Copies of this chain bind each other. A is one copy, B any other.
Amino acid sequence: LPGEVYDVNIFSVTSVDLPESHPYHHGDLRNALVEAGVELAREGGPGAIVLREAARRVGVSATAAYRHFHALPDLVQAVAHVGQLAMARRMEVELAQRVPSGDAAHDAVEFLIAVGRGYVRFAFEEPGLFMTAFSHPGTTTEEEARNEEGEPSPYGLLVTSLDGLVDAGLLEASEYDIAATTAWAAVHGLSTLLPSPIMAIPPEQLPDLIEGCLVLIARGLIAPRPSSRGPQNLRSPHGTG
């Protein structure tokens, strides 16, 4: 199925090569345009995805793109999907590098931190693609947005992390949604803010800072309930309980 070949070889993890033959007219124009779009996104973010330029790079007239995409936003969407996939792959690299300890609780936390680390590092390594993955040009069709069979997704990995925390007894199911939102938001904020000129962190301090933040985020998720211990009362969420 040529329509499924979305691997972009950004990271060495990816080993699937695109077919070299062009059996029919161009043969694989849609994928070629998406790949060109990915390059543009890497170079300049979502705004740099330009239909005419993508066609130019593929060596095809601008009009040809309209055989495969209804309009520009559809191409951007396809690129965003590739970006999400690449991000998930980057997260999986971090997961693969864990060394399991005997302790289930410890390992569950390490899983969460590895997922977060992959997220943030992807944002640093591929800022343009990261921004594109989270741009939303028009609401995604349910059908289009659905992941391919077995494709990893950043959100899926987060969910897996939190399930692990629940299983290890570190997170109450009643706090699941809040924990998920907080974890995602915190990691996303790091990814957005740290690379921006707003913060201007000296590069050599970045790894330690990121790691410290990830630990601190994890701590918030699994901290014991305020009622059971701790020196001060944190009030419970407004309007709840």
Measured CB to CB, the residues of A under 8 A from B are: 47, 103, 105-106, 109-110, 134, 136, 139-140, 170, 175, 177-179, 181-182, 184-190, 192-194, 196-199, 207-209, 211-213, 215-224, 226, 229-240
CB < 8 Å neighbour of A211 from B196, B208, B226, B238: B238
CB < 8 Å neighbour of A239 from B196, B207, B233: B207
Residues of chain B contacted by A229 (CB below 8 angstroms): 229
Name 11 interchain pairs, CB-CB below 8 A, sorted by A: A47-B47, A103-B233, A110-B235, A136-B198, A179-B216, A182-B186, A185-B186, A211-B237, A215-B236, A217-B220, A223-B223
Asked if B208 contacts A219 (CB within 8 A), the reply is no
Q: Give the nearest-CB partner of A168 in chain B.
A: B232
CB < 8 Å neighbour of A188 from B189, B216, B231: B189
Q: A66 vs B141: C-alpha distance in the bound complex, in angstroms?
A: 44
A-B interface, 3 closest residue pairs, ranked by CB to CB distance from nearest:
A220-B220, A189-B189, A185-B189
Shortest CB–CB separation between residue A143 and chain B, in angstroms?
16
What number of copies of this chain does the assembly contain? 2
Residues of chain B contacted by A238 (CB below 8 angstroms): 207-208, 211
CB < 8 Å neighbour of A224 from B190, B199, B230, B239: B230
Asked if A185 contacts B194 (CB within 8 A), the reply is yes
Given A184-B193, A185-B186, A188-B192, verify A239-B221 contact (CB < 8 Å): no
Shortest CB–CB separation between residue A89 and chain B, in angstroms?
19
Shortest CB–CB separation between residue A110 and chain B, in angstroms?
8
Asked if B216 contacts A239 (CB within 8 A), the reply is no
Main secondary structure of the interface of A (DSSP, over half): helix
Residues of chain B contacted by A235 (CB below 8 angstroms): 110, 215
Shortest CB–CB separation between residue A85 and chain B, in angstroms?
16
Q: A220 vs B229: C-alpha distance in the bound complex, in angstroms?
A: 14
Q: A196 vs B140: C-alpha distance in the bound complex, in angstroms?
A: 12
Asked if A136 contacts B196 (CB within 8 A), the reply is yes
Asked if B216 contacts A220 (CB within 8 A), the reply is yes
Asked if A211 contacts B239 (CB within 8 A), the reply is yes
Q: A111 vs B208: C-alpha distance in the bound complex, in angstroms?
A: 28
Asked if A106 contacts B233 (CB within 8 A), the reply is yes
Given A185-B187, A208-B238, A229-B229, 4 extra CB contacts under 8 A: A140-B197, A185-B193, A212-B237, A219-B223
